Chains A and B, each alone.
Chain A
Amino acid sequence: NAGVTQTPKFQVLKTGQSMTLQCAQDMNHEYMSWYRQDPGMGLRLIHYSVGAGITDQGEVPNGYNVSRSTTEDFPLRLLSAAPSQTSVYFCASRGGHQPTGTDTQYFGPGTRLTVL
């Protein structure tokens, strides 16, 4: 049971380039989410999904797209990278078929992205 996995671990992009951050979980969790972590700001929610085919915006969605075609995978796309998107990105998932607020959320190891 690998839990939540993310690839790549590190990435350097030039302004305007696009890329996809991969996230997968093998716990059959319905709820998945993406956060970005910036110094002194904690983690902020970018997008989330409550199941395959269902996604919604979080606090800071601009510049990012997501899709959820399977329960296991939840990729995050940067269409045109900007220096303001330099950050550490975490994917998370939690179980339960009812979206309660008590479920433990499991985090991946993170992707450190630098945009030049």
Chain B
Amino acid sequence: AQSVTQLGSHVSVSEGALVLLRCNYSSSVPPYLFWYVQYPNQGLQLLLKYTSAATLVKGINGFEAEFKKSETSFHLTKPSAHMSDAAEYFCAVSTDTGRRALTFGSGTRLQVQP
């Protein structure tokens, strides 16, 4: 079985500040990890994914995430927040066994203060 925990349902940062959204996973087999972003009243859009090729993954809009097996973590970061980054962010895990479906965390809503 696999699961994802996102620490902090709400995160607030100032414009220009570092963004750090935390994600820890649990999986009995090698995981694939994803970050999705959801803007208000829209579907989910892929930000980046880890597929075992490189532990530091760069995504769209200046976001990146680092896979740390020893810490079972896949935290999302961005050096400087923009107002347009305000959205809900979901971490998800899948594997090559079982349903091969995404298992999502509960989400983190990012607020960016001017």
Contact = CB atoms under 8 A, between A and B. Distances in A.
Interface of A: 4, 31, 33, 35, 40-45, 48, 56, 58, 90, 92, 99-102, 104-105, 107-110
Contacts of B46: 104-105
Contacts of A58: 99, 101
Given A33-B101, A44-B104, A101 B95 contact: yes
28 contacts: A40-B9, A42-B105, A42-B107, A43-B90, A43-B102, A44-B104, A45-B99, A45-B101, A45-B102, A56-B99, A58-B101, A90-B43, A90-B44, A92-B102, A100-B100, A101-B32, A101-B100, A102-B32, A102-B51, A102-B94, A104-B46, A105-B34, A105-B46, A107-B43, A107-B44, A107-B45, A110-B42, A110-B43
Contacts of A4: 43
Contacts of B49: 102, 104
Contacts of B42: 109-110
Nearest to B98: A101
Given A40-B106, A42-B106, A99 B100 contact: yes
